[in-house]
Structure 1
Amino acid sequence: MADEPWAHSRYDLQQARSPDAPETASFNDPRGDVGWIHSYETGSTLDGPGIRVVVFMSGCLLRCLYCHNPDTWHLKDGTQVPFERARTALEAYAAPLRAMDGGLTISGGEPLVQLHFTKRLFAAAKEMGLHTALDTSGFLGARADDEYLRQVDLVLLDIKSWDPETYRRAVGQEIRPTIQFAERLAALGKPVWVRFVLVPGLTDDPANVEGIARFVAPMKNVEWVEVLPFHQMGAFKWKAMGLNYELSDTPSPSPDLVARVIGQFREAGCRAR
């Protein structure tokens, strides 16, 4: 993959690499013969169990105020990649990934924008004997049918807020599709790691955290709740893209705040870290 045109870090700014790509909101890929990839990384230990290859897809319908990769919002900013080329590139890593109890994680952007391409890539990874993980907001979870989810061993589900008003302010969409997807994953018994981005002054209200904790705690399929502290690492992208970054003066959460929130999840009965 190192010589591939999509061999970038998630932290690199990508713009207008595929100016003729379809519009994200109306995109439909019935075959998945090509995909638009923002970047990929090898050696990740944060995006699922073991050592992972993480592929970051372009395209997202959310507009998170704290997004550190706003250059993943549109397909046109990614690199167009034929499926067979992506599969061959992944195959080069399959043996060492198996040896390190790792696998493939597909993130974004939002992988479910490019439904059929990501389904085919997950299926190819399973054929290679790799563990598979889907990193998603759940907003498009209804698109992933049971056959899609059979190709996925673990879902990294971002529950960005509980209070509907806070959710709308934070991401520009409604929370209900994510809640419905979480409930469906619980009914299927699909392993899930819930991820919650802790943003001071935005998502840190104790009642907001408590709502997520009480919702998640009874779900036997949820293996972990991961509290992710807000950071400013993506601020330069907003500036470079001419976007209004409302959180420019927001600090990272203090250790005490992080400990309080993790404690709330644990007190509700969640395994949290």
Structure 2
Amino acid sequence: MIKGRVYSTESFGAVDGPGVRFIAFLQGCHMRCKYCHNRDSWDRKGGEERDVESLMSEIISIKPFLRKGGVTVSGGEPLLQPEFVAEIFRRCHEEGLHTCLDTNGLVMRRTPAIVKAIAESDLILLDLKQADAAKHKELTLTNNRPVLEFAEYLTSINKPVWVRYVVVPGWTDSLEDAEKLADVLLKMTNLERLDLLPYHSMGEWKWEQAGVENPLLGVNPPPAATMNRLKDFFKSKGIPVS
């Protein structure tokens, strides 16, 4: 029986893919984003061990509400548990439910299990943190080359993708940042839309709870003028943006 470690679940999500969705947030992440709002999801040994059957029972119990939506697996980073993801999505397809994978794309190797998880995903939500390599390293403590290669792979197999980009004041909100991101997105013929997400501080308390200093403590959400400027820029490039 395939088991995985689950951080939490949400029965009626509305922002992690199309329609009303059941969302499973899996435990464990290899990025260390300064703006992470689920700081307690990093530890791969944390969360609760669940088997696929128990998760599917939870999903099926609200299946009538998911007909025009579906199931999203997020994190943490779900591709650290690819077998679990693939089996959940396989079962969802048996139930006629749309599947969506929310990933940071930091996949070092395309193992058979990861390829299967991607194949079972009807839609990928790809969280691109920063297109600039140096800024990405400082923001997440990881290299963005594997992320960009993952984006190229999704394009090569024509997998539908929504890119999500968090606008963090001082980190990802400049037009220079946007231009580098646009260079990546314009090569993605499989891109369906770009979601610009304003940074928020609602997860600050989790850093405090973990006894770790929040590197963005005191940073406010970006003003509407910044969000509108970036949205207009991407539209001017012909990139579909929400």
Instruction: Quickly name the TM-score band, shorter chain normalised.
Output: over 0.9
SS of aligned partner of 1:228: strand
- Aligned-pair CA distance for 1:148: 2.4
Does residue 102 of the first structure (1) align with residue 69 of the second (2)? yes
Q: Distance in 2 between matches of 1:248 and 1:165?
A: 22
- Determine which of 147, 153, 156 is the counterpart of 1:187: 156
Q: Distance in 2 between matches of 1:201 and 1:139?
A: 23
Q: Which amino acid aligns with 1:120?
A: E
- Aligned-pair CA distance for 1:211: 0.8
Greater Cα offset, 70-79 or 169-178: 70-79
5 Å-filtered alignment, 1:1-273, equals 33-98=2-67, 101-140=68-107, 142-143=110-111, 145-273=114-242
Deviation track 1:43-93 (CA, whole Å, cap 9, x = no partner) reads 212111111001000000000000000111013320111222112222222
TM-score (norm 1): 0.84
Greater Cα offset, 83-92 or 132-141: 83-92
Verify the 8 A CA contact 2:83 2:114 in the aligned structure 1.
no
Q: Distance in 2 between matches of 1:239 and 1:147?
A: 38
Q: Which amino acid aligns with 2:89?
A: F
SS of aligned partner of 1:126: helix
Deviation track 1:192-250 (CA, whole Å, cap 9, x = no partner) reads 00000100011112111111112202422111100110010000000111111111121
SS of aligned partner of 1:36: strand
Go from structure 1 to structure 2 and tell me whether the alpha carbon gap of 1:76 and 1:146 turns closer, same or farther (over 3 Å shift). closer
CA RMSD of aligned residues (A): 1.4
Q: Structure 1 unaligned segments of length 5 or more: list them.
A: 1-31
Question: Structure 1 residue runs of 4+, over 6 Å off?
Answer: none
TM-score (norm 2): 0.95
Verify the 8 A CA contact 1:161 1:209 in the aligned structure 2.
no
The aligned residue for residue 18 of structure 1 is: none
Identity %: 37
Q: Distance in 2 between matches of 1:111 and 1:93?
A: 22
SS of aligned partner of 2:226: helix
Q: Structure 2 unaligned segments of length 5 or more: list them.
A: none
Q: Which amino acid aligns with 1:154?
A: L
